[in-house]
């Protein structure tokens, strides 16, 4: 309704001033000039009303409604400018100086209105400079062709006013653009904060679940070891309690590693490291977890070497292996390496359930756990892949998921390759 009210006010102003000017031209101007002026004005008002009626009609889609209003506004801006200029040239030669001054003031007001109406939120619509300059240029040209004692002053005024309104439009457009970009940046920041808060909430839920289970198990095993009269049962309960404490320690270490990486407290010390030894060490560390998961862990030998921090590279590759063992439900996990585009790419490939397409873009973000059920607590904190990404970046490498792999999942870790030594 606000747009309709603005358009109706513009129509009333244009019609009233046009009638006022034509009334005072009644004695001096030829009848043909007045009739042509009235015909141009009537045609313009008729088309304007038709476009306005079309714009206010219910639209099938919001985009169609915006297009209707855009067409109406462009017609008002361009056709209105042309009509005002034409009317000025039809009657200006027959108007008294006072009436001519009224017309000039009205045209100046129209230019100001066009400038204010041309301000848009980004992306701004280009090409309005000519439209804004039409009326000032028309005023200056008329006074140049109909020379009068005050023509130099009016020509100078027209030129100065054209420059001022163009500068004003530029300043206002830049201010609106900055305000819009600042608002969008603030909304994006609020979105990131909300996403981080949601992720941390999931992290706390997962932490309470995953830390609570081994600690509770350790307590039960400890009580069993203290109360059982059977030495064999006590020994078995002690081993189980130790295993539970080890699990809790590993979870806490994972949390601390992530916090150190997030705080930037971890520094990489790259050296030339044999990739084969790295793979063998990671496979040895995860052999027990693979047996527990019923998964065959295969380490492929290689003679490649990379420039990496051995301890950090072991943690990053180990996180990829642990992720496959925990979530893939695979029967076989393969660890290997190949030279690719001047880098060493380490692979962790499984034949498990694969990765959901919707989860793939966010797998390496912190606190993210791929799942078809977002409210499901799956074990772990969703930090393993995120930590692997941070560690790889510290060493000048990268991690990723080969989304072309269809029989399970294929994760990779890229590291800078060591220079080849002559034989």
Do 282 and 381 lie in one domain? The reply is yes
Do 182 and 321 lie in one domain? The reply is no
Residue ranges making up the domain that contains 164: 2-189
Task: Look at 46-55, 108-117, 237-246 and tell me which has the smallest mean pLDDT.
Answer: 108-117
Burial readout 150-179 (b: 16 or more C-beta within 10 A, e: otherwise): eeeebbebbeebbeebbeebeeebeeebee
Do 156 and 277 lie in one domain? The reply is no
pLDDT at 91: 76
Do 141 and 11 lie in one domain? The reply is yes
pLDDT at 380: 54
Q: Which residue has the tokens 């046009």?
A: 18
Task: Output the six-digit token pair for 238.
Answer: 């002690």
Do 309 and 185 lie in one domain? The reply is no
Give yes or no for residue 114 having a pLDDT over 90: no
Q: Is residue 42 part of a domain?
A: yes
Q: Is residue 93 part of a domain?
A: yes
Of 189, 223, 254, which residue sits at a domain end? 189
Do 290 and 409 lie in one domain? The reply is yes
| Distance in angstroms (rounded) separating the CA atoms of residues 284 and 190 | 44
Give yes or no for residue 366 having a pLDDT over 90: no
Kindly state the percentage of the chain with pLDDT values over 70: 85
Q: Which residues pair with 410 in a beta bridge?
A: 349
Give yes or no for residue 374 having a pLDDT over 50: no
Give yes or no for residue 153 having a pLDDT over 60: yes
Do 173 and 289 lie in one domain? The reply is no
Average pLDDT over residues 23-50: 79
| Distance in angstroms (rounded) separating the CA atoms of residues 81 and 135 | 7
pLDDT at 15: 79
Q: Is residue 239 part of a domain?
A: no
Return the SS3 of 228: coil
Q: Is residue 335 part of a domain?
A: yes
Angle, helices 62-91 vs 97-117, to 10°: value is 160
| Distance in angstroms (rounded) separating the CA atoms of residues 412 and 341 | 14
**What CATH number corresponds to the domain at position 375?**
3.30.565.10
| Distance in angstroms (rounded) separating the CA atoms of residues 243 and 247 | 6
Of 167, 189, 211, which residue sits at a domain end? 189
Do 24 and 153 lie in one domain? The reply is yes
Q: Is residue 240 part of a domain?
A: no
Count: domains in the chain = 2
Strands 398-401 and 332-340: unpaired
Of 189, 204, 233, which residue sits at a domain end? 189
Q: Is residue 262 part of a domain?
A: no
Do 181 and 277 lie in one domain? The reply is no
Q: Is residue 195 part of a domain?
A: no
| Structural contact between residues 416 and 307, judged by C-beta atoms closer than 8 angstroms | yes
pLDDT at 126: 56
pLDDT at 378: 46
| Distance in angstroms (rounded) separating the CA atoms of residues 46 and 44 | 6
What's the chain's average pLDDT?
Answer: 81
Question: DSSP labels for 255-298?
Answer: HHHHHHHHHT------EEEEHHHHHHHHHHHTHHHHHHHT-EEE
Task: Output the six-digit token pair for 276.
Answer: 């084969």
| Distance in angstroms (rounded) separating the CA atoms of residues 280 and 264 | 29
The number of beta carbons lying within 10 Å of the beta carbon of residue 61 is 8
Do 170 and 73 lie in one domain? The reply is yes
Average pLDDT over residues 332-337: 95
Interacting residues of 135 by C-beta distance below 8 A, sequence separation 6+: 81, 84, 85, 107, 108, 110, 111
Give yes or no for residue 26 having a pLDDT over 70: no
Do 289 and 182 lie in one domain? The reply is no
211, containing H or E segment: helix 151-227
pLDDT at 423: 45
Q: Is residue 11 part of a domain?
A: yes
Do 291 and 181 lie in one domain? The reply is no
């Amino acid at each position: 309704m606000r747009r309709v009210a603005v358009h109706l006010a513009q129509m009333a102003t244009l019609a009233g001033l046009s009638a006022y000017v034509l009334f005072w031209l009644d004695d001096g101007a030829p009848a043909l000039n007045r009739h042509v002026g009235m015909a141009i004005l009537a045609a313009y008002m008729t088309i304007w009303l038709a476009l306005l009626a079309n714009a206010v009609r219910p639209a099938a889609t919001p985009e169609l409604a915006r297009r209707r209003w855009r067409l109406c506004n462009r017609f008002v801006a361009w056709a209105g400018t042309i009509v005002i200029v034409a009317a000025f040239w039809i009657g200006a030669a027959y108007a008294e100086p006072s009436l001519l001054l009224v017309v000039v003031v009205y045209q100046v007001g129209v230019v100001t209105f066009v400038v204010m109406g041309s301000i848009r939120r980004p992306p701004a619509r280009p090409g309005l400079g000519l439209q804004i300059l039409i009326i000032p240029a028309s005023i200056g040209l008329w006074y140049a062709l109909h020379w009068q004692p005050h023509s130099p002053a009016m020509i100078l005024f027209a030129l100065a006013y054209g420059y001022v309104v163009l500068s004003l439009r530029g300043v206002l457009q830049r201010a609106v653009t900055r305000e819009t970009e600042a608002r969008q940046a603030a909304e994006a920041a609020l979105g990131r904060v909300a996403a981080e808060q949601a992720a941390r909430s999931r992290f706390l839920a997962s932490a309470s679940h995953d830390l609570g289970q081994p600690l509770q198990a350790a307590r039960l095993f400890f009580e069993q070891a203290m109360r059982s009269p059977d030495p064999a049962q006590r020994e078995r309960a002690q081993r189980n309690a130790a295993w539970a404490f080890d699990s809790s320690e590993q979870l806490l270490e994972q949390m601390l590693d992530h916090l150190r990486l997030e705080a930037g407290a971890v520094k990489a010390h790259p050296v030339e490291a044999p990739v084969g030894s790295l793979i063998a060490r990671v496979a040895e560390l995860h052999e027990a977890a693979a047996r527990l998961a019923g998964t065959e862990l295969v380490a492929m030998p290689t003679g490649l070497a990379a420039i990496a921090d051995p301890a950090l590279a072991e943690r990053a590759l180990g996180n990829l292996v642990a992720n496959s063992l925990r979530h893939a439900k695979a029967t076989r996990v393969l660890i290997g390496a190949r030279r690719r585009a001047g880098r060493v790419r380490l692979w962790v490939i499984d034949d498990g359930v694969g990765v959901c397409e919707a989860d793939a873009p966010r797998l390496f973000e912190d606190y993210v756990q791929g799942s078809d059920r977002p409210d499901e607590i799956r074990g772990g904190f969703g930090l393993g892949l995120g930590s692997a990404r941070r560690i790889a970046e510290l060493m000048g490498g990268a991690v990723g998921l080969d989304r072309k792999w269809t029989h399970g999942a294929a994760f990779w870790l890229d590291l800078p390759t060591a220079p080849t030594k002559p034989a």
